[in-house]
Amino acid sequence: MKLKLIFLFLFSQINVFSQNLTLDEFLSLRSKKFDYIENYLTKKGWEFLNIENKHVDDELYIKQVNFAFKKSIYSDKAESFFSYSIMPLGTNMISMQVNTKEKYLNFMTRIQALGYKVEESTTDNGVYFRTYKRPSSAKTTITVEIRSEKGQYDFSPTSTSYEFSAYDIDLMSGGDN
């Protein structure tokens, strides 16, 4: 019995320190340097995954650092994924994939409460894209991608993921601001 209580206590302590991000926390990381982001996410229980160089063309590439929250030890599935991308002009873009409708709805409610409005909405290859901007601050752009994928077999469930990205549009286009 004592062993069960000790295990329960330790397990509950781990969960207390392991936290997913709110939209406000996510957006605040957009302007931070990598060292700060890595330290912040690690303290909240996120796991470093890898660093990738994604080539856009022969001369241009994006460095992307990836983290996972509550990643399965048996597969590549996780509750959330976070990516920090360093763009060619030295700007940051952050992305966070959430895999629950509840987290998606929490983020969407907060986006609307912050005054962001849909600027563009499109679909491409089964992915639904929306771009949000806040009229009072045209600088920050949030994009949302929703995709559903059917499992390999007829009896496999369909899984839906939601990806949020944030960046400063004037910096992405090479503007002077």
pLDDT digits (tens, 9 = 90+) for 122-171: 999 888 999 999 887 667 899 999 988 776 666 667 788 899 999 886 54
What integer is the mean pLDDT of 23-48?
A: 92
Domain-located, residue 12: no
For the stretch 33-45, pLDDT in tens is 889 999 999 999 9
What integer is the mean pLDDT of 19-28?
A: 91
Domain-located, residue 110: yes
Domain-located, residue 177: no
Domain-located, residue 157: yes
Give the dihedral sign, CA 76/77/82/83. positive
Which residues are registered as beta bridge partners of 55? 61
Domain-located, residue 132: yes
Domain-located, residue 11: no
Neighbours of 150 (CB within 10 A): 10
Domain-located, residue 2: no
- Amino acid sitting at position 18: S
Determine the Cα–Cα distance for residues 135 and 116; give it in Å rounded to an integer: 7
Determine the Cα–Cα distance for residues 137 and 168; give it in Å rounded to an integer: 10
Q: Provide the domain count of the chain.
A: 1
- Residue 87 φ/ψ, nearest 5 degrees: -85, 170
For the stretch 63-97, pLDDT in tens is 889 999 988 888 888 899 999 988 766 667 899 99
10 three-class SS: helix
Give the dihedral sign, CA 36/39/45/47. positive
pLDDT on residue 83? 93
Confidence class of residue 116 from pLDDT cuts 50, 70 and 90?
A: very high
pLDDT > 60? residue 4? no
pLDDT on residue 126? 83
pLDDT on residue 175? 41
Range of the domain at 82: 18-172
Cβ proximity of 26 and 96 under 8 Å: yes
